[in-house]
Amino acid sequence: MTDWVISTNVARCRDCYRCIRTCPVKAVRFRDGQAQVIPELCIACGNCVRVCPQNAKVVRDDRLAVRRAIRAGRTVVASVAPSIPAFFDIEVFEQIESALKMLGFAGAGETAYGAEMVGLAHKEAVEREPERWPVITSSCPVVVNLIEQYYPDLIPHLAPLVSPMIAHGRSLRQEYGEDAFVVFIGPCIAKKGEILDENVGNVIDAALTFAELREWMDAEHVALPACEQPRERAPRANARVFPVEGGLVGTATMDTDILSSQIVTTSGIEACEDVLRGIRLGLLDACMVELMACEGGCINGPAMKGQGSVFLARQRVLQYASRRQQAPLPTREQWPALDRAYADRSQPAPEFTEEQIREVLHRVDKHTPKDELNCGACGYPTCREKAIATLRGMAEATMCIPYMRRRAESLRQVVMDVTPNAVIIVDSRLYIQDMSPSAEAMFKTQLSAVVGMPLQTVYPVIDSFSQVRNTRQPVTNERVQLRDDLIVEQTIVPVNGEHLLVAILRDVTEREQQRDELDRLRTETLSHTREVVKNQMRVAHEIAQLLGESTAETKMMLSRLAKLIEEGHGQ
């Protein structure tokens, strides 16, 4: 369990920048088309997990470690967060405890026991240390991370007290022994990071979310047992309402009047930062501020995703808190040590010159303040902040969506303007949507005059267009004569995901005319050649005939001469 709480499944990440937009501290680095969570900057709020549309953010799963401990025969006990009734439909704690024992747990207890201790300890800290005012509650690990990493100057205001999880974990170790394997189960992803915090370490061995527990139960076919007899109503156990906004104040039996100026309760990271800035400026006059990172409290933790209305979750927790508990909450004498220390974990931010920032802005065509749209599409609230993030290696210049759109459109226009081949784009009805200047010249028209008109307005032969539209199969290098003076070689392709067809037309009229002229010359040459051969054969025949007659006469004369000579010798 040495990995950080949140990582990225690179196979699923689709560079939508949504995690960057929702990260309150911009702890996500974007590089090579992938979003990477930087542990040194991350406060483990889980916002990126909530919003990722591709489920590309992966939360560390400790179930394997818990199963190994059970198989090894260790005493595995659970501390179950008081927000449990907002996730599981339970009326009494024994129901979830029974299910956990069926999974192999030796026992389970309510983290509300730790919440009772921590709530009362906060009240004592406020009364004992007025110099620390306003005291910032320390129960939310995200708030602690936020202060240690981004508001380290406010660490003196943090109550030096552990969270209910750590308090209850220490209590369980007193009960089950130091060798026990203690597991926290709750709605919070940040708890998986808190158990690794050196200042509170070696207390909780693993942290599971309610969702992980449900998956485990489903895999083992473990169901929650029915509640045979609902518990009778009783005075509300304040510690069980700890997970709702204002729960710590209520647990501490302090003034819960929302109009009280001495105690401030708020939830949501943006609201928490607003309070922290007020404290930093010395403007907040209060004795204690209860800060919870999740809007509405822990009942709206990132692992509660898909559970419906926060108000209904609050109602279920309040109803559960009004049922008589299995055992009384621990007395003051039973409390373990609750103190803790903090560390300044802030990362020094590098500084850059105005010239460096302007150079990055110029890369995306932002040369004047008017060019800086500050649209936030890249995930950063301003263009300058994105430029600084680029210099830090946290972002890429090309993350600017307006710039990339203009660039894509300009490149498209460049291609359309300079291509020597005619390009026509039509919709599924075969109506003209766009055409290149070369197409305008080819068809002796203007785009403005034919856009939205049927293709046949300029293109008399549309059979192949219909074929491609119907089959979604391209036609390539097809020769078509459109006019007496125009022959084209057409390639028509469908656009995937769009009801569009793109036709690229190459004017081959001159080539075809040359080919026709060559064919004509070839035909004439062949005809002339045949005539010459025929004449030559005739002449040869006549010559042969004359040569034959002459040879015969010569032979006859020679024969006669030979006979006369022979007769002369005889006399």
pLDDT at position 411 is 64
Which residue spans within 241-391 are E strands per DSSP? 263-267, 288-292
pLDDT at position 236 is 43
Cβ proximity of 44 and 142 under 8 Å: yes
What is the maximal distance between C-alpha atoms in the chain? 178
Cβ proximity of 452 and 429 under 8 Å: no
Q: Report d(CA 541, CA 507) in Å as an integer.
A: 52
- 419-507 topology per CATH: Beta-Lactamase (3.30.450)
Q: Report d(CA 460, CA 438) in Å as an integer.
A: 18
Q: Which residue has the tokens 């400790």?
A: 62
- Among left, alpha and beta (phi > 0; psi -120 to 50; other), residue 15 is left
pLDDT at position 522 is 74
pLDDT at position 233 is 47
pLDDT at position 261 is 60
pLDDT at position 570 is 53
Tell me the angle at which helices 164-176 and 112-128 cross, rounded to the nearest 10 degrees. 120
Please state the φ and ψ torsions of residue 462, each to the nearest 5 degrees: -120, 10
**Helices and strands (H, E) in the chain, number of each type:** 19, 16
Residues of the chain with pLDDT under 50: 1-2, 233-236, 258
Cβ proximity of 35 and 8 under 8 Å: yes
Helix (H) or strand (E) holding 208: strand 206-209
Token pair belonging to 483: 């006019």
pLDDT at position 531 is 77
pTM of the model as a whole: 0.73
pLDDT at position 234 is 43
DSSP code, position 207: E
pLDDT at position 328 is 65
Strand, helix or coil for residue 289: strand
Domain-wise residue ranges, the chain: 61-334, 351-406, 419-507, 521-571
pLDDT at position 237 is 58
Cβ proximity of 144 and 165 under 8 Å: no
Print the SS3 string covering 479-509: EEEEECCEEEEEEEEECCCCCEEEEEEEECH
pLDDT at position 190 is 97
